[in-house]
Amino acid sequence: MTATLPTPRQANPGRPGAGLTVAIFATCIADTMKPSVPRATVEVLERLGCTVEFPREQTCCGQIMTNTGYFDQAVGSVRNYVRAFGDYDYIVGPSGSCVGSVRHQHEMIADHAGDAGLARAAGSAASHTYDLSEFLIDVLGVEDVGAWFPHTVTYHPTCHSMRIAKVGDRPLRLLRAVGGLKLVDLPEAEQCCGFGGTFSLKNPDMSIAMASDKAHNAVSTGAEYLVAGDHACLMNIGGILHRQRTGIRTIHLAEILASTAKEA
């Protein structure tokens, strides 16, 4: 599906989000395990002038069920997503994978359930759903969000952000505009980190082999932080980096964009 991309708003460069109401899609994993990621997302959006709302009914994109083959069990998530977000023009999540699943799989799951009304509603909600990097660049028309992060970082383009949500180089453009930040290339950047949802449990040995190589490549850059737009992938790579006491930390793109000179 193609997201409808409104004309970038450049009338008010300081507060390009002024007048826009945005629903934050926190994602179940970050809501529960890493609240600093959706909090940082809220902070960036509000700094840019958006009015952020948190629809409490939200849960999960359903991907864990869908991608393990449990289509029936994913229907509740799709229905719930539509219920939580159906009225919003802008739904923004800090995850290429969850956003990608909403856009690429929700209609399929609704069709599987034989619910044409749900499929229509899911398609509509999906067309209003953005990864944070897409929303900032395509809707707000900003690359420099006023962030300050004086560290050396390397960027891992997560598979689903790159190939399902298709965020392209937007995260890199945002990172290059961050004050004080030094960006170094990650070798084999486009190779999967081996997370793959339940793949990491069903094929643990392969998953570890892939994650170890990703961690090794991250170490080879000499960066202080490995940054990505998906917390689940960061948990995978970061888990190895921490176990091996490499000293490299993982950080979500939203967390870097939320950092300002005032805090540093």
Partner 1 sequence: MTTQPEARPRLTPAPPEVSWLGMPPFPEAVKTELRRSQQRKNLAHATHTIRGKRALRASEVDNWEELRTAAENIKDRVGRHLDEYLLQAEAAMQAAGVTVHWARDAADATRIVTDIARAKGVDEVVKIKSMATQEIDLNEALEEAGIAAWETDLAELIVQLGHDLPSHILVPAIHRNRTEVRDIFAEEMGRYGTPAPEGMTDDPTELTDAARAHLREKFLRAKMAVSGGNFIVAETGTLVIVESEGNGRMCLTLPETLVSVVGIEKLLPTLEDLEVFLKLLPRSSTGERMNPYTSLWTGVREGDGPQDLHVVLLDNGRSRVLSDPVGRAALRCIRCSACLNICPVYERAGGHAYGSPYPGPIGAILNPQLRGLDSPVDKALPFASSLCGACNEVCPVKIPFTDILVHLRHKVVEKKTEKHPTGEQALMKTTGRVMSAGKNLEKVQLASRGAGLVFKNKWLGPMPIPLASRWLQARDVEAPPTQTFREWWDKEHRPSAAPGETAGGQGSATEEER
CB of 32 to partner 1, least distance (A): 5
Separation CA 115–CA 113 (nearest Å): 5
Q: Give the residue, chosen from 91, 125, 136, 159, that forms a contact with partner 1 under the rule CB under 8 A.
A: 159
| Residue that is written with structure tokens 């900032």 in the block | 136
| Backbone torsions φ then ψ of 51, nearest 5 degrees | -95, 115
Q: Give the residue, chosen from 8, 15, 169, 246, that forms a contact with partner 1 under the rule CB under 8 A.
A: 15
CB of 193 to partner 1, least distance (A): 8
CB of 141 to partner 1, least distance (A): 17
Site for partner 1 in 45-84 (CB under 8 A): 46-47, 49, 51-52, 54, 56-60, 62, 64-77, 79-80, 84
Separation CA 7–CA 257 (nearest Å): 23
Site for partner 1 in 161-220 (CB under 8 A): 163-164, 190-192, 194-212
Site for partner 1 in 96-125 (CB under 8 A): 105
Output helix, strand, coil percentages for the chain, rounded to the nearest 5: 50, 10, 40
Q: Work out whether 248 is an interface residue with partner 1 (CB under 8 A).
A: no
Q: Give the residue, chosen from 149, 153, 156, 218, that forms a contact with partner 1 under the rule CB under 8 A.
A: 149
CB of 207 to partner 1, least distance (A): 7
Angle at 172 between CA 176 and CA 154, to 5 degrees: 85
* Two tokens, residue 62: 């359903």
Q: In what order do the strands lie in the sheet with 91-93?
A: 51-53, 21-24, 91-93, 129-131
- Tell me the number of residues near partner 1 by CB under 8 A: 94
Beta-carbon-side half-sphere exposure of residue 224 (alpha carbons within 13 Å): 7
- Closest to partner 1 by CB, 137 vs 253, is 253
